[in-house]
Amino acid sequence: MVEWTDSERAIINSIFSNLDYEEIGRKSLCRCLIVYPWTQRYFGAFGNLYNAETIMANPLIAAHGTKILHGLDRALKNMDDIKNTYAELSLLHSDKLHVDPDNFRLLADCLTVVIAAKMGTAFTVETQVAWQKFLSVVVSALGRQYH
Amino acid sequence: MSLSAKQKATVKDFFGKMSTRSDDIGAEALSRLVAVYPQTKSYFAHWKSASPGSAPVRKHGITIMGGVYDAVGKIDDLKAGLLSLSELHAFMLRVDPVNFKLLAHCMLVCMSMVFPEEFTPQVHVAVDKFLAQLALALCEKYR
């Protein structure tokens, strides 16, 4: 089980309570598709992903980014048992979506970059440590049920 | 995954913009590396302190960023340009190559914090590719 200090819980909760899900979700997914173009393989049905401009203007991608970010809410509400909270989602990504789990890490890195841009100096070292710890637990849980 | 001519121009342009803040970004990036990935402190056991924000860490972050800027100038042939640095890393420092990726990520985070408008996805991919190429050039002499 992952141990969280009070400070870490406070930091994670604070980030989420100030989060613009639409903006950050859209920006993070777009950035992932642009910086790591092979991730586009999962978005064949999402319309025009021809270049960075069309990706950033694509409403289906924007909506999906928001959806993914809201998926993190469950981890936030169940920080003491993220592994089991995401068991079903992990199976979904493995058996139905066939997503290479390394992509979770890529998206997490892009999310970190976008949040850093939004928060500026407020994204302190302590904040980054807590945030990346949270994301690495999520990423690990999402990959756990692959078989 | 080599850089296109356009991406090389993007890298040079962004690093130009960044130059007034490059020391800060270098110092911050190394601080964040040892904080977020504590295992990286293993390379700095000989320092008085390897904690984030400490003087030796900040100083070394500046040194590393200086090396990165030097590499920007050699972007057309990183392998040749970084030969002696590669020998240093291969035979003396022996830094596990996985750590180059971790430091690159911390640099990208700092760039994003300091230049939220300029660090667009297009700039991000160009800089990420450049840092990856840099790491490859540093690994050239490893084995």
Q: Where are the domains of chain B?
A: 5-139
Query: 3-state class of A33 per DSSP?
Result: helix
The pLDDT tens digits for A52-94 are 999 999 999 999 999 999 999 999 999 999 999 999 999 999 9
Quote the pLDDT of residue A129: 98
Chain B residues within an 8 Å CB radius of A128: 32, 35-36, 109
Question: Per the CB < 8 Å rule, is A125 touching B31?
Answer: yes
Min Cα separation B117/chain A (Å): 8
Split at pLDDT 50, 70, 90, the class of B1 is confident
Q: Which residues of A touch B109 (CB under 8 A)?
A: 112-113, 116, 123, 128
Note the CATH number of domain B5-139. Answer: 1.10.490.10
Q: Name chain A contacts of B112, Cβ cutoff 8 Å.
A: 113-114, 116-117
Check A125 against B53: CB less than 8 A apart: yes
Range A120-140 average pLDDT: 98
Q: How far lies A92's CA from each of A78, A147, B6, in Å?
A: 19, 12, 39
**A30 in reach of chain B (CB within 8 A):** yes
Q: How confident is the model at residue A139 (pLDDT cuts 50, 70, 90)?
A: very high
**B65 pLDDT more than 90:** yes
- Of the candidates B52, B108, B122, which has its C-beta nearest A125's C-beta? B52
Which pLDDT does position A72 carry in this prediction?
Answer: 96
Q: Using a CB-CB distance cutoff of 8 angstroms, which residues of chain B are in contact with residue A109?
A: 105
ipTM, two decimals: 0.89
Question: Token pair 């977020």 is at which residue?
Answer: B36
Q: Which residue has the tokens 């300029």?
A: B118
Angle made by CA atoms A140, A141, A146, in degrees to the nearest 5:
90
Tally of CB atoms within 10 A around B125:
20
pTM (predicted TM-score): 0.93
Exposure of A105 by Cβ count < 10 A (0-12 exposed, 13-18 middle, 19+ buried)? middle
Q: Which of B109, B15, B114, B22 is nearest to B66 (CA)?
A: B22
Dihedral sign from CA coordinates of B1, B2, B4, B6: positive
- List, as one string, the DSSP characters of B115-140: -TTT--HHHHHHHHHHHHHHHHHHHT
Task: Tell which of A24, A36, A128 to mutate to test the B interface (max B CBs under 10 Å).
Answer: A128
CA distance B139 to chain A (A): 22
Please, which residues have CB within 8 angstroms of residue A11's CB and are 6 or more apart in sequence?
A126, A127, A130, A131
| pLDDT surpasses 90 at A1 | no
Mutation target for A interface from B98, B109, B131: give the one with most A CBs within 10 A: B109
Asked if the Cβ–Cβ distance from A112 to B109 is below 8 Å, we say yes
Residue with tokens 């130059």: B19
- Determine which helix (DSSP H) or strand (DSSP E) holds A22, and give its type and residue range: helix A21-35
Q: Which chain B residues touch A113 with a CB distance below 8 Å? A: 108-109, 112, 119, 124
> For the segment B70-112, what is each residue's pLDDT rounded down to a tens digit?
999 999 999 999 999 999 999 999 999 999 999 999 999 999 9
pLDDT, position B63: 97
